[in-house]
Amino acid sequence: MPSNSSEADIILNLSLISAQINRYLPIAILLFGTIGNILNCLVLSQKSLRSNPCSWFFLASSISSLITLISGVAVRLLAGWSTDLTNTVPWLCKLRIFVLFVSRTTASWLIMLATVDRWFSSSIDANRRHMSKLKNAQLGALLVVILSSLAYTQVFYCYEANLTNTPLQCYGRTIWCRLLIDFTFATIGVLIPSIIMLSFGMMTILNIRAVAKRRIQPMSISIETQDTTNRQQSCWKKSDQHLIVMLLVQVVLLTLFSLPQVIQNIYANSTMYVVRSQLQIAINNFIFNLLLLLTYVTNGMPFYIYTLAGGSIFRKALYKVLKQLTQKILYRKD
């Protein structure tokens, strides 16, 4: 009897903690994430940055992250305080989940393309450097949106509202649907872009080292060629190396925050028919809710990464934006 009473207390406490987490943690994630992504959009749309393909990828990724926060965190926040229509209205359930998965995957792949762009632009090969241009970046972003949308069309069949005995009311209707969605997001939304980002990030570092080695020029090279190379190196020193730092930090944090939730989802769904105690179910639901919310941190942190690791170029652009906003507010008051 004491053990049953103790187990019931643990289950009750986990339920209360989970409810409080769902009520208050989304507020912090949504507040800081929304402000950060809006500032990102304002800063990265400045003339000095938006013509850079890598910065353009960051801008598009910030827009995708903003959509993710609205469709994911904002809805969960409302559910913590009032009735969530996406849990009870089938078409709203399907549409929200579709937009959520597409925007999250798009944000990851845009950062991945930014990593590839940095590899192109840091290459010694002139043909590869030529691939780093705004037109290619815009075309790549369009393809990512289209392919991400096609990858999650099964959501309209698999997801259903008003479900019971599931972590969420708006959830996959069958075990195979859940495994399909989890596997799709795990591979397309997390693993593939993370592996590509890490690979091209390392290759970009090798490119930078190769460029640095060319500083020791043979005597036979003309002064004009040497000056051109030195200008390229100087340009890389001032801006592009900061973008590399921003990318690598973002890649590591993206993997750390996203991968645990994917693993937990696949494990929970693949062992769904294993008989569990009420305590085990409560623990699984608690872990599910916590890890799910933590995945949204990756969509709210880019601005703070760019501010801390983006060097003086990003901070100067941010200062310029804030100064312009302050002047507009003061002008309106006058």
Q: What is the DSSP string of 213-244?
A: HTTS--TTS-HHHHHHHHHHHHHIIIIIHHHH
What does the pLDDT read at residue 62?
92
Mean pLDDT across 291-304:
85
Is there a domain that residue 1 lies in?
no
The single-letter code of the amino acid at 285 is N
Tell me which residue has tokens 């916590």.
290
Quote the mean pLDDT of the chain: 81
Is there a domain that residue 5 lies in?
no
Range of the domain at 75: 10-333
Is there a domain that residue 308 lies in?
yes
Decide: 100 and 162 in contact? Cβ < 8 Å: no
Half-sphere exposure (Cβ direction) of 159: Cα atoms closer than 13 Å: 27
Please report which helix (H) or strand (E) contains residue 28, including its range: helix 2-44
pLDDT of 235 strictly over 80: no
* Cα distances (Å, whole numbers) of residue 100 to 63, 156, 189: 13, 13, 11
As a whole number of angstroms, the distance between CA 194 and CA 81 comes to 35
pLDDT of 201 strictly over 50: yes
What domain count does the chain have?
1
Is there a domain that residue 110 lies in?
yes
Token pair for residue 60? 């598009």
Question: Could you read off the pLDDT of 33-62 as tens digits, one per residue?
Answer: 999 999 889 888 887 777 888 889 989 999
pLDDT of 151 strictly over 90: yes
- Dihedral angle of Cα 265, 271, 275, 276, to the nearest 10 degrees: -30
The CATH number that applies at residue 171 is 1.20.1070.10
User: Which position has the higher pLDDT, 221 or 8?
Assistant: 8
What does the pLDDT read at residue 55?
86
pLDDT of 197 strictly over 60: yes
Is there a domain that residue 3 lies in?
no
40-44, 58-62, 89-93, 246-250: least confidently modelled range: 246-250
Is there a domain that residue 2 lies in?
no
Is there a domain that residue 306 lies in?
yes
At 1, the pLDDT band (50, 70, 90 cuts) reads very low
What does the pLDDT read at residue 3?
55
Is there a domain that residue 136 lies in?
yes
